[in-house]
Structure formats: structure tokens, C-alpha cells
Structure 1
């Protein structure tokens, strides 16, 4: 297992290196001069040239990339052009709030999708199964911003149950300390994942219900509740672990829409503002975080599945 994890870490590092190279060069192709972005369009070419020379932006792109990698290895993500602050500081200030929002959305999605998927499998082709499948497809096809706007229109403007704006607290625990203000953002973020998880859980549970160990458990006269919770649940959820690992970056992307829609001060809103300001160091750092979450999520999913099911042989 240790050798397997080590090999995966090496591959993950190479993937991150590739992501950083592609994004770095693409961002530098968008604009010919970071100095023009920082100083504005009306500044003189001489001032732009002086700024670029002072910060090394007039050097070859490959040299700039190697310099960026060296700084990255020392934990330096660069400095925001527009905010005039270290990118690592900005990320540290906002990462906790986004992480808690993503975690809350993931917990809500799993809490709804796992029992719903098993219920659909047990009652397959029945009214519950057909209704849940139709709703899941509808949620999956609905863009997050449209769902969020619909929730605001119904629950905030008409019923006045929840505020239209998320909590403006800078504490990462706003999801717990101000649940009323965070209800709509969490539901919006979780809805798409519920649709995917429930259908995936249904398919996995249907596959397990046809296995011999389920027939043996029922033949022994065990109550159906014990058959489902003690035997079916564990094996049916293992494929879902892998899916959760692959969808972690999707939550990060969903944060951009949800945080901007509900004006929640997190990484998603910071990324959107940096995109509008063409703040490339922030854009690059956010993209690298997405790549890091992707490789770490897949690695953790593989390790958890191997640990949960001893029958799975990890190639050494």
C-alpha cells in the first residue's frame, strides 16, 4: 500500500506540473503585458516597459515559468496585481469559508442521495423510483445559477423564509453559526450532486441486490432493515466513494457560481473578481488548487476503497 501511494504521489506531482505549465503559458498568451493590466490602458508605453522590466515580465516566458516554479516550491504563489497583496494570504483568508460551504454541500448531498438511491433500488420501477429519477434528471440538467435564482424567488422573495444574501461573516463557521442565511447557498450547491449521487447509488444498489450474499441474508430470515443496513449499504456505497473523490473539484467550481450569486465572501467570489480584473497570479493559484483537489480527491478515493474492501488488490 505504501509503495502504491508513493507512486500515485509521483504521478500526481507530474500532473500538477503539467497543469501549472499549461495554465501559465495560456494566461501569458492572453495579454502581452501584465504592466498594461496593472497600470491601466491610458498609461504611457514607457511606464509599462519600466514596470515590466522591474518585475521581470520582459524576460522570456520559459524563464518566467521556471522562476515561478522556484517560488512555488517555497510556498510563494505570487502577488496580486490589483489587490497588492500576497496570493497565499488572500487564499488563506478565504479558503476556510469556501471549504466549509463545500463540505456542507457534500454532507447534505450524501445524506439525501444515499438513502434515496437505496430506496429507489428497493422500490425499482415503482412510483418513488420513477419520481425520484425524473427529479434527479431535472436537477442535473438545471444550471446552478438558474436553480439558485429560483430558490431566491420562492423562498426569499415570496415566502420570506431565508435571506437572499449569504452570511457576510468572515468566520469559516458561518454555515453552522448562521444556518438560515446559508441554507439557500448550501441547497443550491448540493442539488446537482444529489442528482448524480442518487442515480449512481441506485445503480450500485441494484447490482448488489442481485448478489448471492443478499439472497443468503434474506434466506436466513434477517429483517429487511438489517439486510439493507448491515449488508447492502457498505458494499453499495464503495463505488460512491470513488465518485465523491472525482467530484470534489466540481464543488470548487460550483462555489464560483454559488458565492457570486449569493455574494458569499469565499474563494469562488475571489476568483470571479480576479477574472474580471485579469489578476493572473490569483487565477493561476485558483486553477492549481483545482488540479490539486482533483489528484488528491482521486488518490484518497482509491485508498479509502482499498481500505474498506480488503478484496481489492492494490498493484504494487
Structure 2
């Protein structure tokens, strides 16, 4: 197992270098930058700022300098916010993590429960009802669903706040602060759960149906085991194996999957500053955040490989 993990880590290192090169090349090929987009600057002042930030250097020099900064944990300097990119991301990253983690726990739990129940009674009225509800929720565009939830629960019913993380001028502390955050968290979490639960439920249902039809399940039932034991101790454990792969995409999805939702609900997360940086062409922020997502994707796939190897020893023997 140790050799398996070492091989996967060694493979991940050149992947990270290639990801950094690809990200830099894409943004370097994008026309314009934050300085070019500032129409208030004179040509002389724009040239001075480009020289100050090294934007007038050849691309290979700029990449090597950026790569050297990355090796020291420096993601660059934000031209729009005038602070280091790592400091800027750290201010908003944990808010996005809170939103995405709560959403992920809920939609994985709901998808697992509904997926198992529909697989136990396939093509029943319950299965058809769940299918219709799932596709109805998935058919809503993200921005429309968010605005609809705001209208229903914030404008019409006045049950929940329309956006933000805290009330304006709030000085709440302790449990009062936590309760206030949870109130503001409810609507964006509801939107993400409605958007994400559907596809994951279909994965669980399909995987469970495949396992339930296998010979060892029929054998377990023929031995007289109870249906609860057959489903949850035998079928579910084997059905979860293919879904381990999805965990590799959940890690970057914790931060990238709620960009539009954060913007609409004015949630102070990285999605909010990512869209603002995109509008102002603040490429150091965009490059730093994109690289962060790329590293999370590689680490997520590495974690999925390790978990799959633990769950299925045959993977270790073939690798």
C-alpha cells in the first residue's frame, strides 16, 4: 500500500507543474489586463505600472518568476484589491468552505437515502415521483432558482434573509453569531442542494440496481438473511465503491461549484471575488484561484485512488 501511495504522489508532481504551465499560458494569451482596462490611466502611467509589476517582461521570464513565487507559497499580488492573492483568498475561502461543506453533507445524505429507497422499489410510483422531482429541480437554471427562492422565502414570506452572511451592522457574538450565519446560509444551501441532489441520486440508484442484480445478493437472500442486512451490509457497501471516484471531484467542487450562487446571494466567498476579478481582468487573482482548484482536483483524485485501493485490494495489485 505504501508503494502504491508513493507512485501516485510521484505522478501528481509533474501534473501540478503541467497545470501551472497551462494556467499561465491561457491567461497570458488572454488579451488585455487590469491596467489596460483602466481607462483613467495615461499611456505613460500604464507603462510604468506594467514595468513595476513585471508585465512588460517576456512570457518565459514571467512564468519562471511566477513559478518561483509559487514554490515559496506566494500566489502573486492582486492589482484590484492591492493585497497579496493568498491573503485575499484566505479572507473569503473559509466562507465558501462553510457553504459548500454544509451543502455537500446534505445532498450526499439525501441522495444516498433516496437512491437506496428507489433502488429497492424500482419503477414503482415512488421511483417515478422521485424521478419527476429530480429532473424538475435540475431543469431550473441556477440564477433563476436562486432568484425564485429569494422571492418566495425572503420577499413574500419574510422567513429568511435575502443575502449576505450577517445583518448590516451586526455585532453578534457566540451562539447569536452562529444562529445569524445559519439563517443567512439557509437559502444558498437550499439552492445548491436542489441543484446537486438529482444527478447524485441517479448515480446511487443505478449503482444499487447493478449490485442488487448480482449473484451474491441472490445467495444472501437464499440463505435467509433479512432484507435490511442484504441491502445495507452487502449491497450498499459494494454499490459505494464506484462512487468513491466522485469524491475526487467533490474536493475542488467545494470551492468552485457555488460561484453563481454566492454572487446572487451576496455570500462573501471566493466565488464572489472570482466573478469581480473576472470583470476587472485581475489575472493574478484568477490564476491563483484556478491553480488552487487544479491542485485540489489533483489531490482529490489522489485521495480517491487511495480510498479505492483501501476498499478494493485488487487495485493495489494491478497498479
Shared fold, TM over 0.5 = yes
Contact 1:80 1:281 (8 Å CA) reproduced: yes
Partner of 1:12: 12
Contact 2:146 2:261 in 1 (8 A): yes
Residue equivalent to 2:102: 104
Deviation at 1:27, TM superposition (A): 1.9
**Pairwise CA RMSD:** 2.3
2-side partners of 1:178 and 1:54: how far apart?
41
Q: Which moved more, 1:297-306 or 1:216-225?
A: 216-225
Deviation at 1:239, TM superposition (A): 1.5
Aligned residue for 1:18, secondary structure, equals: helix
Aligned equivalents of 1:4, 1:175: Cα separation in 2: 42
SS at match of 2:3: helix
Contact 2:111–2:200, Cα closer than 8 Å, also in 1: yes
Matched, 1:211 2:214: yes
Work out the CA distance in 2 between the residues paired with 1:114 and 1:51. 54
Note the C-alpha offset of 1:182: 0.8
Counterpart residue number, 1:254 = 257
CA distance in 2 between partners of 1:51 and 1:295 (Å): 35
Question: Are residues 1:302 and 2:300 paired?
Answer: no
Give the deviation of 1:61 after TM superposition.
Answer: 1.1
Q: Is the 8 A contact 1:101 1:175 kept in 2?
A: no
Partner residue of 2:181 out of 146, 171, 178 = 178
1:33 Cα deviation from its structure 2 partner: 5.6
Deviation (angstroms), 1:192: 2.5
Q: Structure 1 residue 163: deviation in Å? A: 1.6
Q: State which of 67, 70, 75 in structure 1 corresponds to 2:65.
A: 67
Q: 1:33 to 1:293 in 2, by over 3 A?
A: closer
Segments of 4+ moved more than 6 angstroms: 173-177
2:128 and 2:224 map into 1 onto residues whose CA distance is 29
Give the stretch that moved more between structures: 213-222 or 90-99: 213-222
Pair 192,33 (structure 1): closer, same or farther in 2 beyond 3 Å: closer
Q: How does 1:143-162 map to 2 (within 5 A)?
A: 143-162=141-160
Give the superposition deviation at 1:131.
Answer: 1.5
State the match for 2:232 in structure 1.
Answer: 229
Contact 2:33–2:281 under 8 Å retained in 1: no
Greater mean alpha carbon deviation, residues 42-51 or residues 26-35: 26-35
2 CA distance for matches of 1:2 and 1:145? 46
SS of residue in 1 equivalent to 2:73:
coil
Give the corresponding residue for 1:240. Answer: 243
Deviation string 1:125-160 (CA, Å, 9 cap, x unpaired) is 111111212222233332222221222222222232
Residues 146 and 188, structure 2, Cα contact 8 Å, conserved in 1: yes
> Which structure would you say has the larger RCO, counting Cα contacts within 8 Å and 6 or more residues apart?
2
Is the contact between residue 175 and residue 182 of structure 1 (CA under 8 Å) also seen in structure 2? no
CA offset at residue 259 of structure 1?
0.8
Distance 2:280 2:45 in 1: 20
Unaligned ranges ≥5, structure 1:
none
CA displacement 1:66-101 (0-9 Å, x = unmatched):
110001100011111011101111111111111121
- Of the structure 1 ranges 302-311 and 271-280, higher mean CA displacement relative to structure 2 is found in 302-311
Partners of 1:29 and 1:175 lie apart in 2 by 44
Query: How many aligned residue pairs are there?
Result: 313
- Segment of structure 1 superposing worse, 185-194 or 77-86: 185-194
5 Å-filtered alignment, 1:44-193, equals 44-168=42-166, 178-193=181-196
TM-score, normalised to structure 1's length?
Answer: 0.91
Query: How far has the Cα of 1:273 moved from its partner?
Result: 1.4
Per-residue CA shift, 1:15-55, capped at 9, x if unaligned?
33223222222223333565434xx2232212222222222
The Cα of 1:305 is off from its aligned counterpart by 1.8
Q: Give the direction of change, closer, same or farther, for the CA distance of 1:175–1:250 in structure 2 (3 Å limit).
A: farther
Partner Cα separation in structure 1 for residue 85 and residue 215 of structure 2: 55
Asked whether the equivalents of residues 166 and 181 of structure 2 are also in contact (C-alpha less than 8 Å), the reply is: no
